[in-house]
Structure 1
Amino acid sequence: MNGMPRRIDPSTDRATAALILGCSPSQVGYCSRCQGLTVRYGSHAQVICPACRAAEQDPGTPPPGR
């Protein structure tokens, strides 16, 4: 495994996504770039998901797939 965060598919159950993201299910929402799931609401909200942020920091990495 390369250590890069992976996109959480939007069909993933929100409770499962919340466990992966370390938040409550009510804080889970869609990434504005790839439409994957991310912490969209609450005190640690992010507009883009960890996978898109990592791809942004490493220009040689393709963006997460849809």
Structure 2
Amino acid sequence: MLFETGHPWITFKDPSNIRSPQSHIGVVHSSNLCTEILLNTSEDETAVCNLGSVNLAAHTKP
């Protein structure tokens, strides 16, 4: 329901980096909209997270 109303999602960078299982890859600088996916970046790379959905009923036969 909150995502339908434009409610902000807040995450904190330091605790996210402390708890990241991928700390050996780099620093978490961003996440997707709902903050369940944390994205590591570096000076050479920018991470992006594209979310999508598929209506299976439109692609299957009854």
TM-score (norm 1): 0.34
More helix by share: 1
Q: Give the number of the structure whose alpha-carbon radius of gyration is greater.
A: 2
More strand by share: 2
TM-score (norm 2): 0.35
